[in-house]
């Protein structure tokens, strides 16, 4: 198949989504360059905290297509499922959601393997990049040391605090600047502990190795202080427990450390071990991105820059899957702008819909929705809810799944609200002797 190559592709941001895009589109452009704001040393850091990633089948398919999956998968940990810990009427309950054939991978390992492939393919990465402006009409990206970079397509993969989105918001003719933005949700702190002894038994033990524990309530001893925990057990390259703590703005970091000691103190070998692990972690913020459109002329926002939200593992997978969807649309179009427009009104619309759901998830307003869809799923009337392994279904594809998700919301509500009426009808029929 002959590929009609364009001249220049500029990708702002070289995280997983940016590098996947570079590798997928390298055959369609004469020149591809990645602009990365971090130093090379910071970008390829292998020490300190790093997040675990559970790649979905849709992401794995894409990673295989660019020849990188075997390298990433060489270091993996079993991930059979999630245990949700919920306190009801003062009693602790566990709710498990399981999935076979799923593995978790450290983010820094995935970054390293992607970067090695990018270098192998001869794609330059410009570290310490400072993008000063983007000319959306003239297709020029101005970088502090490289000067003006012409582009036929620019992908803004520069994360939650995207400069690309900021520049787009200031000049977009169809939307006001305030319609693009982001909202603070919560603070987080992340670190990891050795997996041994009581720590291993509590958070990574058992034959089934249900790797992730989600504690959805504040500590029983301090119920008014927002302090939620997610742990993920990892077994390669060594056994460790990844710990993510979500805390409210009113709970400062010294207090978070105190609460952390209350929770994990009984499971570690010493306070010194816990303090040393804590000091190697780092803090951040969960924020929600708003972008009424992902495109302007020949520029497209992708990944966190387009639809960033508080992730439960779905954000990076939707980002990678969206690159695959855009690539499929791109190859069908002669004109780049028409490809971008189709992507925005289809995949973009679906991603914005999912981001709206994720916002409600962050605000803890999805209990009824999740419960009703899961009930309908058990009856064979709906797919599994996206937040409960939905995106890890083998047949997951953004547009079809989001269409089904919209339908399932309606079907599950009708099912739940009609259930009392059906029960009443059965009782009336029974009393009338008709049953």
* Whether residue 163 is found in the same domain as residue 64: yes
What mean pLDDT is reported for the chain? Answer: 89
Residue 47 inside a domain? The answer is yes
State the first-to-last Cα distance of the chain, in angstroms, to the nearest integer: 67
pLDDT at 406 > cutoff 90 = no
* Whether residue 347 is found in the same domain as residue 298: yes
Among residues 40, 5, 231, the alpha carbon closest in space to that of 118 is found at 40
Residue 92 inside a domain? The answer is no
For residue 151, the tally of other CB atoms under 10 A from its CB is 24
For residues 291 and 301, what is the distance between their CA atoms, to the nearest angstrom? 9
Pairing outcome for strands 6-12 and 153-156:
parallel
By three-state DSSP, how is residue 229 classified?
A: strand
* Whether residue 275 is found in the same domain as residue 189: yes
* Whether residue 225 is found in the same domain as residue 301: no
* Whether residue 144 is found in the same domain as residue 163: yes
Where a domain ends, among 286, 317, 352? 286
Residues 271-299, mean pLDDT to the nearest whole number: 94
Q: Domain range spanning residue 354? A: 6-75+107-182+289-362
Task: Tell me what pLDDT residue 415 has.
Answer: 79
Residue 368 inside a domain? The answer is no
For residues 366 and 418, what is the distance between their CA atoms, to the nearest angstrom? 20
For residues 75 and 94, what is the distance between their CA atoms, to the nearest angstrom? 29
| Total number of domains in the chain | 3
pLDDT at 3 > cutoff 70 = no
The tokens for 247 are 């805390």
Instruction: Read off the pLDDT of residues 78-95 as tens digits, 9 standing for 90 and up.
Output: 776 788 888 888 888 888
Where a domain ends, among 334, 362, 390? 362
Where a domain ends, among 331, 362, 393? 362
pLDDT band of residue 21 (cuts 50, 70, 90) is: very high
pLDDT at 209 > cutoff 70 = no
Map tokens 């593992």 to a residue: 313
Map tokens 């105190």 to a residue: 258
Task: Tell me what pLDDT residue 422 has.
Answer: 67
Torsion of CA 164, 165, 170, 174, to 10 degrees: 120
8 Å CB contact between 189 and 155: no
Residue 82 inside a domain? The answer is no
8 Å CB contact between 10 and 35: yes
* Whether residue 172 is found in the same domain as residue 207: no
């Amino acid at each position: 198949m002959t590929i009609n190559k364009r001249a220049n592709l500029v990708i702002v941001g070289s995280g997983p989504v940016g590098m996947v895009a570079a590798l997928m589109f390298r055959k369609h452009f004469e020149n591809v360059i990645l602009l990365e704001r971090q130093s090379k040393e910071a970008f390829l850091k292998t020490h300190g905290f790093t997040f675990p990633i559970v790649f979905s089948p849709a992401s794995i398919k894409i990673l295989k297509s660019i020849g990188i999956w075997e390298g990433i998968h060489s270091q993996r940990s079993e991930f059979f499922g999630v245990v949700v810990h919920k306190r009801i009427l003062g009693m602790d309950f566990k709710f498990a959601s399981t999935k076979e054939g799923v593995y978790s991978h450290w983010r820094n390992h995935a970054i390293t393997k992607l970067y090695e492939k990018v270098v192998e393919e001869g794609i330059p990465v410009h570290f310490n990049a400072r993008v000063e402006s983007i000319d959306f009409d003239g297709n020029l990206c101005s970088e502090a040391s490289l000067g003006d970079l012409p582009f036929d397509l620019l992908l803004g993969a520069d994360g939650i605090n995207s400069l690309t989105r900021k520049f787009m918001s200031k000049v977009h003719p169809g939307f006001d600047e305030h319609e693009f933005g982001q909202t603070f949700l919560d603070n987080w702190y992340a670190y990891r502990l050795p997996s041994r002894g009581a720590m291993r038994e509590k958070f990574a033990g058992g034959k089934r190795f249900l790797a992730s524990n989600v504690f959805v309530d504040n500590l029983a001893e301090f119920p008014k202080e927002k302090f939620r925990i997610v742990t993920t057990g990892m077994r390669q390259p060594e056994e460790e427990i990844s710990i993510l703590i979500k805390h409210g703005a009113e709970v400062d970091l010294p207090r978070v450390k105190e609460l952390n000691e209350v929770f994990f103190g009984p499971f570690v070998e010493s306070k010194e071990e816990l303090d040393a692990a804590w000091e190697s972690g780092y803090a951040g913020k969960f924020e929600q991105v708003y972008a009424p459109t992902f495109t302007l002329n020949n520029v497209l926002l992708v990944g966190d820059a387009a639809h960033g939200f508080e992730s439960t593992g779905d954000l990076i997978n939707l980002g990678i899957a969206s690159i695959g969807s855009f690539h499929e649309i791109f190859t069908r179009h002669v004109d780049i702008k028409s490809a971008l427009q189709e992507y925005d009104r289809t995949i973009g619309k679906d991603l914005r819909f999912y981001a709206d759901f994720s916002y409600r998830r962050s605000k803890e307003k999805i209990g009824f929705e999740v419960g009703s869809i899961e009930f309908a799923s058990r009856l064979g009337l709906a797919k599994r809810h996206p937040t409960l392994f939905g995106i890890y279904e083998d047949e997951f594809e953004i547009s079809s799944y989001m269409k089904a998700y919209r339908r399932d919301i309606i079907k599950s509500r009708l099912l739940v609200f009609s259930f009392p009426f059906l029960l009443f009808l059965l009782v009336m029929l029974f009393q009338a002797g008709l049953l």
